[in-house]
Structure 1
Amino acid sequence: MKNKQWMLRAVGVISALALGLGGLAACGNSSSAESKNGRVYYLNKKAEEQSTWVKLGKAFEKETGIPVQIQTGGTDYDSTLRSELSKKAAPTMFQADGPSFMSSFKKYAKDLSNSDIYKQLDKNYKNRVLTNDEGKPIAIPYATESYGIIYNKALLKKYFDASWSTVKSAEDINNFKALKTVADEIQAHKDEIGVKGAFSSAGLDTSSAFRYNFHLPSVPLYYEYADDGVDMTKVPSSVKGTYVKKMKNIFDLYIKDSTVEPSSLSGKTMDDSIAEFATGQAVFFQDGVWAYNQIKGQSVSDNDLGVFPIYIGAKGEENQGLNQVISNYWCVNSKVSEKDQQATEKFLNWLVTSDTALKAISQDMGLVSPFKGFDNEKYQVTNPLVVVNREYQKAGKTDVISVPTVSHQWEQNLGSAELNYAQGNGSWDDVVKVFTNDWASEYKLAYGE
């Protein structure tokens, strides 16, 4: 999932909220009215997990008597959150996705130094919290996720078994050159394989663009930061774009060896892309472990799910593992009443200590969560995409750390440049300019330096 990384994920069906909330999707299970025990109102960013969050809210409310309201923020979470925070019955708890997000919302985030949720955080993740100007923790990471190029083993076997295929095993697909060979040959023989394209559609509408304006750029940024010794948990004032031309390698595969023509990408959604992969119309699909809930139960069996790293042609990528992202953080709204803050902190602690929540988060949501309670074997995630990530790590492959971007505006600008390039209305040089020039200007806007 959902990521700064850090990520904009609005998948699944979201119903429009009546009563004047406009684009806000409402799936709350209680009113936001005050109670003697305080209240909890969580504005959830991950729409694909909404139904599970509603169930958890009901269970907590039944157990404690504290009313819980769970709502999703639609496709523009930042805008929705900004609007909701201005209201009298504002969210008591919200989601952050990285440093650039917190630069805009940190005034609303409570110091959680003495909270139970901070104490429950695994010691190895204490240095991954987001902090205020005094260095106090104000955003607690609640999920670590991995992503890469998900593939269908059964369809790939059809390719390996073909007399015309050059590459004969998944083990040989450990660099960009090999991946391109496979994708190009599948595209050329798509009817024989029985697919519409090698890759599912690289949708560049708002529900899907995060895969290419946030997830994909993390690969060239990782390699640049590694070369230059840049701290991967911080946002630098500028980037050189050393590997952006190599990012073009994989982006070209996505848009050319695809189920659709590049001209249609602006209208292709996340749901379209998932459906194409899940129903066997494509062999490859760039996304993360969070996509499993949308893939399972369709034509691709769990045993046929694999994941390749996102190869771009960088030196040494044969030893590369999957991208690792922490883009999901919990914050408590410091502007609501003390009673509501206490109720919200109680809810947060319940989420990482109660059997009900531990099971739901690990098994229903499939999240790998960095709290002590999840160490128990029965709360280990069985998501097959998570299992693949563990295998890469056990094999000693190097994790690609998904680094924070400078701002959501930078991501949107990058996505627009990518779309223009895909549709033939712009050049890759325009993408490079956004990558570097817009980064520097956005940094000055966000950090005033």
Structure 2
Amino acid sequence: MKRKLVAMTMACTLAATALTGCGGSSNGGSSSAADTKTDSAAAESTAAETTASDAEGSVYYLNFKPEQDQQWQDLAKAYTEETGVPVTVVTAASGNYETTLMSEMGKSGAPTLFQVNGPVGLANWKDYCYDLAGSDIYSQLTSDSYALKEGDTVYGIAYVIESYGLIVNKTLLQTAGYTIDDIQSFDDLKKVAEDITARSSELGFAAFTSAGMDGSSDWRFKTHLANLPIYFEYQADGIDSTDAIKGTYLDNYRNIWDLYINNSTCDPSELSAKTGDDSRNEFLAGEAVFFQNGSWEYGNLTADGALTDDDLAMIPIYIGAGDEANQGLCTGTENYWCVNNQADEADIQATLDFMNWCVTSDLGTKTMAEDMGFVIPFKGAQESQNLFVKQDTEYTAAGKTPVSWNFTTMPSEEWKNGLGQALTAYAADETDANWDAVVSAFVDGWATEYQLANGQ
């Protein structure tokens, strides 16, 4: 097992990947650097303090989601106070989950609870995953579709379902003379955005927040936005993964990217240095109408009454493809809990008990639904008060088809990095030649990285 871990570490180093190059969770769902207060070094010292030493075992959770760090710290403390079982939560720095996991797994007192992003993420961690088939938490799932399975073996369990799209400041949109009902397609979005840009001096705000390509922000575009052309290609071809993406909808990808970068709060040439915090703060300050992000941002946007539900809405990301009249939000998961089968038996059991408590107890389900804003796929789930979660439910109830999360099929983090670099270069100089480099990163890079990831 250790030999495999060494090989994985070397592979990650050679690929220079930050997250999913060796198959762990990607940065897609929901990472923000703002609230991250631990990194690999902190993980080492903190984990050492809670190495299993008492008969009841202990839990070490390596958390993927920085924006929920404080809530997990509070929940762990409450569980320890209730049960006496030590629970350590360490949150990897944004963009560094995989490298942190790789480092921590090679130490004594390794994480007992960690995450992978789906089948691609599972590939290199499968041998470290405890079979959850007979666990209490598995019995709590509302559907087997939320289990990461191969045959009868359950390697991981999804613990959160999330949505993303275009978050809208309805108050500003109304000031510009529109409502969300006016935006039902890419053409509608383009018309509204370009009109706001034409009147930006008069209105005092832009259409879009900055599409920052700093590492704290670029995942929104090299992963989440890139999901759209992948989704529509998969739909057209009747597939759910591929070893060779064709790029059928990359013209649409260019159109939405052009719209973002040319109708925003800053010049496109400045995007390489713009952060996720910049984008959020612009939206909070009323400097832009549209902000591409997900349901995980709800708490940040409504904290201390900054914005209210009356101000906000989330609409689909339209790119001019598919049946836009019936398109919903991008909804899915890339967050699967896995239990380290290399841990002591007492620690494994303690971890299983903690997981089950999180999704069955009043405090656990309330924290996950209200404080973290999660939809959790378990029988005891409480209803989330997150506006964006509710709107996703409303879209689905109205017959809109959610756009599935297909970025878990992206071949590696290195593929995303190559795409992000090409998008940044194009933003600085919007030529056809530079867009050809984006296409090459998307299509040729996919084939290359797939072959590397699969030993071809």
How far did 1:7 drift?
A: 3.5
Within 5 A, what are the aligned runs for 1:6-17?
A: 6-7=28-29, 9-16=31-38
Deviations 1:246-298 (A, max 9, x none): 11111111111010111111111111111111121110000010011111135
2:107 to 60, 70, 87: 87
Structure 1 residue identity aligned to 2:299 = N
Structure 2 residue identity aligned to 1:109 = C
Query: How far, CA to CA, are the matches of 1:280 and 1:7 in structure 2?
Result: 24
In structure 2, relative to structure 1, the CA distance for the partners of 1:29 and 1:244 (3 Å cut) is same
2:380 to 373, 385, 401: 373
How far did 1:208 drift?
A: 0.9
8 Å Cα contact 1:16-1:25 kept in structure 2: no
In structure 2, relative to structure 1, the CA distance for the partners of 1:221 and 1:96 (3 Å cut) is same
How far did 1:171 drift?
A: 1.4
* 1:327 match: secondary structure: coil
8 Å Cα contact 2:422-2:438 kept in structure 1: yes
Corresponding position of 1:186 = 196
8 Å Cα contact 1:29-1:58 kept in structure 2: no
8 Å Cα contact 1:159-1:193 kept in structure 2: yes
Corresponding position of 1:424 = 429
How far did 1:188 drift?
A: 1.6
1:175 to 178, 185, 202: 185
Corresponding position of 1:218 = 227
Within 5 A, what are the aligned runs for 1:11-30?
A: 11-16=33-38, 21-22=40-41
Query: How far, CA to CA, are the matches of 2:50 and 2:89 in structure 1?
Result: 10
8 Å Cα contact 2:38-2:92 kept in structure 1: no
8 Å Cα contact 1:30-1:67 kept in structure 2: no
2:406 counterpart of 1:384: no
Query: How far, CA to CA, are the matches of 2:183 and 2:124 in structure 1?
Result: 42
* 1:287 match: secondary structure: strand
* 2:124 match: secondary structure: helix
Structure 2 residue identity aligned to 1:224 = E
2:253 counterpart of 1:247: yes
Deviations 1:409-434 (A, max 9, x none): 21111111111111128611111111
How far did 1:319 drift?
A: 1.5
In structure 2, relative to structure 1, the CA distance for the partners of 1:299 and 1:63 (3 Å cut) is closer
1:230 to 222, 230, 239: 239
Within 5 A, what are the aligned runs for 1:238-317?
A: 238-296=244-302, 297-317=304-324
Measured on the aligned residues, the alpha-carbon RMSD in Å equals: 2.0
How far did 1:66 drift?
A: 1.1
Corresponding position of 1:41 = 60
8 Å Cα contact 1:25-1:74 kept in structure 2: no
8 Å Cα contact 1:29-1:54 kept in structure 2: no
2:122 counterpart of 1:105: no
How far did 1:151 drift?
A: 0.5
How far did 1:346 drift?
A: 0.7
How far did 1:108 drift?
A: 1.5
Query: How far, CA to CA, are the matches of 1:189 and 1:29 in structure 2?
Result: 57
8 Å Cα contact 1:23-1:74 kept in structure 2: no
Unpaired segments ≥5 residues, structure 2: 1-24
Query: How far, CA to CA, are the matches of 1:98 and 1:388 in structure 2?
Result: 25
2:356 to 345, 349, 352: 349
Query: How far, CA to CA, are the matches of 1:283 and 1:100 in structure 2?
Result: 35
How far did 1:191 drift?
A: 2.5
Query: How far, CA to CA, are the matches of 2:130 and 2:47 in structure 1?
Result: 23
Identity of aligned residues (%): 43
Deviations 1:141-182 (A, max 9, x none): 01111110010000000111xxxxxxx442121111110111
How far did 1:37 drift?
A: 0.8
Corresponding position of 1:163 = none
Within 5 A, what are the aligned runs for 1:393-408?
A: 393-403=396-406, 404=408, 405-408=410-413
TM-score (normalised: structure 1): 0.90
Aligned residue pairs total 426
Deviations 1:5-57 (A, max 9, x none): 8536133233356xxx4375988897335221111000001011011101111
Query: How far, CA to CA, are the matches of 1:42 and 1:229 in structure 2?
Result: 38
